[in-house]
Amino acid sequence: MLASRDLQLWYGDFHALKGVSMTIEPHSITAIIGPSGCGKSTMLRCFNRMNDLVEGCRVEGEVLFEGRNIYGRYDLTELRKRVGMVFQRPNPFPLSVFENVAYGARIHGLAGGERLRESVKKALIATQLWTDVADRLSTPALDLSAEQQQRLCISRLLAVAPDVLLMDEPCSALDPLATQHIEELMLELKKDYTIVIVTHNMQQAARVSDFTGFMLLGELVEFGETDTLFTAPRDRRTEDYITGRYG
Amino acid sequence: MRIPPRAVHLTMLGFLWVVTLSAVATLAGIVGWVLWRGLPSVTPRFLFSMPEAAGAEGGIASVILGTLFIIISAVLVATPLGVGTAIYLVEYTRESWVTRVIRYGSDCLAGIPSIIFGLFGYVFFVLFLGFRWSILSGALTLALMSLPTIIRTSEVALRSVPQSFREVSYALGATRWQMVLRVVIPGALPGIVTGIVLALGRSMSETAAVIFTAGTVLPDRVPSSPGDSVRTLAVHFYILATEGATDAQPRAFGTAAILVLAILVINVSAYTLMHRFLARYR
């Protein structure tokens, strides 16, 4: 589905990714873990080329999406439509609940009128937010709780009909109960989407993911099935990190 | 000997109170005085009839309309130029010598005395382009004068839109223009509108630049084309107060009162509009 091949990235003089190669399987959840500053968010942002927005950022190597290198000639709006992103802090637009979800659909001209309402409803049902907000679609999104806001942001993304969901520490601004709910949602979404999640929370990675990559200082130290990585890590540094002797 | 901090605190508190009060009192005093002297002459007849006897008799209907035409045309010209420049500076280019030149140029424009704008407008619009003394010449000159205000306030407003909104918008596959149109401009709108209103108020109270470009002829009918020469409220007041006979004084103050009230109304309505807008999104 998605794969990086010897990916190198610099922010100015800072070498942030050092030859990272990983493959993301369809309909799976892949977690990228590692201490702060290890490059895991940078890695995630290579998959939809969000690093392009950072001044002084330079990339070498390849990221393949369905076999095509997205760092070659590639329509970025098309890429980001198919590889969507959920951010660390819930960041709904200061618009109504409805307009937030409709935003992406409107951009891509996916629907209008009744079809637009249907797609908004579908996206809200998919994140189990519909029952909470059905009767207040026109209220400001910022009136929702943090968890609801994050669900709303995921709905906003789903309404664009992506194939891949990139999640950049989606639960770090939420309380434990809300975190649990979002994790359950991720397991549900896995059936229809391919998910890559960056988290500093190892328990979270162990709970939800099928594959895990451990990054340190810009390198991908170890990548494999989550169960194996957490029970029988091959690399000493991975073992140190997951047993809490690191970071 | 050390002065007790509490005494310093109280002294400073008193001092700041006095300073603030005198600032507010000055404003209230000027506005109050103009209204007190001017409002008695403001009658429906004064507002809705044409001037007679060089303004000493009759009303100021043609002056009010002339002022409206000129400032509205000025803002209609300046807004797309100013907001467009600001959008270019903030969204479409990174900081470089080009942006610095544009910003420096616009700041210099803001520092030029209005009479120089008047002179330029006179030479360029009135004579060279042959627009004569007209609403058109006056409006174009005022538009140039308003540009720096609109550019600067719009720029600040656009920059105040959180970067995360831009990121989300891109991450959803929006193009730059879709992002600007649907996320950045709505977020910056209150600030942009404030800039436009500021420009409106300044244009309304401008005299020197307008005398040079729109003329001082007192029309005795409603201006009907952009080529008509008009006299604005501020200019009318200036001429009545300096050249008019003593019996024109009440009308001069009446004009000043209307000018002050108009600016007050513009500012207050913009303020409430902005608040309503902000309250929607909080």
- Contact indicator for B112, B120 with CB cutoff of 8 Å: no
Joined together, the tokens standing for residue A39 give 């490059």
pLDDT at position B190 is 84
pLDDT for B230-257, tens place per residue? 888 888 888 888 876 677 788 888 899 9
Residue contact B172–A53, C-beta within 8 A:
no
Q: List chain B residues with CB under 8 Å of A107.
A: 172-174, 178, 182
pLDDT at position A215 is 93
Ranges A108-122, B20-34, B216-230, most confident? B20-34
Checking if the pLDDT of A107 tops 80, the result is: yes
**Which residue in the block uniquely carries the two structure tokens 């050249």?**
B243
Pairing of strands A83-86, A164-168: parallel
pLDDT for A64-79, tens place per residue? 999 899 998 889 888 9
CA distance B106 to chain A (A): 26
Closest-approach residue (CA) in chain A for B278: A94
Checking if the pLDDT of A117 tops 90, the result is: no
Q: pLDDT above 90 covers what percent of chain A?
A: 46
Tell me which residue of B28, B61, B58 sits closest to B230, measured CA to CA: B61
According to DSSP H, which parts of chain B are helical? Answer: 5-38, 44-48, 61-87, 97-111, 114-121, 135-159, 163-171, 176-179, 185-205, 208-213, 233-243, 249-281
Q: List chain B residues with CB under 8 Å of A93.
A: 165, 168, 183
Three-state DSSP string of chain A: CEEEEEEEEEECCEEEEEEEEEEECCCCEEEEECCCCCCHHHHHHHCCCHHHHCCCEEEEEEEEECCEECCCCCCHHHHHHHEEEECCCCCCCCCEHHHHHHHHHHHCCCCCCHHHHHHHHHHHHHCCCHHHHHHHCCCEHHHCCHHHHHHHHHHHHHCCCCCEEEEECCCCCCCHHHHHHHHHHHHHHCCCCEEEEECCCHHHHHHHCCEEEEEECCEEEEEEEHHHHHHCCCCHHHHHHHCCCCC
pLDDT for B204-220, tens place per residue? 988 889 988 888 888 77
Q: What is the average pLDDT value for chain A, to the nearest integer?
A: 89
CB nearest to B281's CB, from A53, A91, A94 = A94
Q: List chain B residues with CB under 8 Å of A82.
A: 173
CATH number at residue A226: 3.40.50.300
Report CA dihedral (A148, A149, A154, A158) to the nearest 10 degrees: 90
Terminal alpha carbon distance of chain B: 51
Checking if the pLDDT of B17 tops 90, the result is: yes
Among residues 177-206 of chain A, which lie with CB inside 8 Å of chain B?
none
Mean pLDDT of A32-39: 90
Checking if the pLDDT of B273 tops 80, the result is: no
DSSP state of B2: P
Tell me which residue of A153, A151, A107, A106 sits closest to A132, measured CA to CA: A151
- Say if A100 falls within a structural domain: yes
pLDDT at position B282 is 46
Tell me which residue of A7, A5, A36, A13 sits closest to A217, measured CA to CA: A36
Tell me which residue of B187, B169, B191 sits closest to B178, measured CA to CA: B169
pLDDT at position B48 is 83
pLDDT band (50, 70, 90) for residue A157:
very high
Joined together, the tokens standing for residue B26 give 């000055």
pLDDT at position B244 is 64
Mean pLDDT of A208-229: 92
CB nearest to B167's CB, from A53, A106, A156 = A53
pLDDT at position B279 is 63
CA dist., res. B85 & res. A4, Å (int): 40
Closest-approach residue (CA) in chain B for A80: B173
Name beta bridge partners: A165: A84, A195
- Contact indicator for A110, A70 with CB cutoff of 8 Å: no
Among residues 42-101 of chain B, which lie with CB inside 8 Å of chain A?
94
pLDDT at position B270 is 79
Terminal alpha carbon distance of chain A: 31
* Number of domains within chain A: 1
CB nearest to B173's CB, from A91, A153, A160 = A160
**Residue B164 touches partner A, C-beta closer than 8 Å:** yes
Mutation target vs A (from B165, B170, B277; most A CBs, 10 A cutoff): B170
Half-sphere exposure (CA, 13 Å, Cβ side) for A185? 26
Q: pLDDT above 90 covers what percent of chain B?
A: 36
Among residues 46-85 of chain A, which lie with CB inside 8 Å of chain B?
48, 50, 53, 55, 77-82, 84-85
Domain edges within chain B: 44-281
CA distance B276 to chain A (A): 14
ipTM of the complex: 0.85
- Contact indicator for A81, A166 with CB cutoff of 8 Å: no
Mutation target vs B (from A47, A80, A100; most B CBs, 10 A cutoff): A80
Checking if the pLDDT of A111 tops 80, the result is: no
Closest-approach residue (CA) in chain A for B178: A107
A20-24, A153-157, B52-56, B267-271: the lowest-pLDDT one: B52-56
Tell me which residue of B143, B127, B149 sits closest to B70, measured CA to CA: B143
pLDDT for A171-205, tens place per residue? 888 888 889 989 999 998 999 999 999 998 888 99
Mutation target vs B (from A65, A95, A163; most B CBs, 10 A cutoff): A95
Q: CA B220 → CA B38, B66, B137, B207, B241, distances in Å?
A: 22, 11, 20, 20, 19
Q: List chain A residues with CB under 8 Å of B167.
A: 50, 53, 87
CA distance A170 to chain B (A): 14
Mean pLDDT of B194-213: 89
Fold of the domain spanning B44-281:
MetI-like fold (1.10.3720)
A-B contacts (CB, under 8 Å): 65
pLDDT at position A112 is 67
Mean pLDDT of B128-135: 88
CA dist., res. B70 & res. B68, Å (int): 5
CA dist., res. A14 & res. A38, Å (int): 12
Mean pLDDT of B72-94: 93
Pairing of strands A29-33, A194-198: parallel
CA distance A104 to chain B (A): 6
Q: Which domain holds residue A146?
A: 25-47+82-242
Q: List chain B residues with CB under 8 Å of A54.
A: none
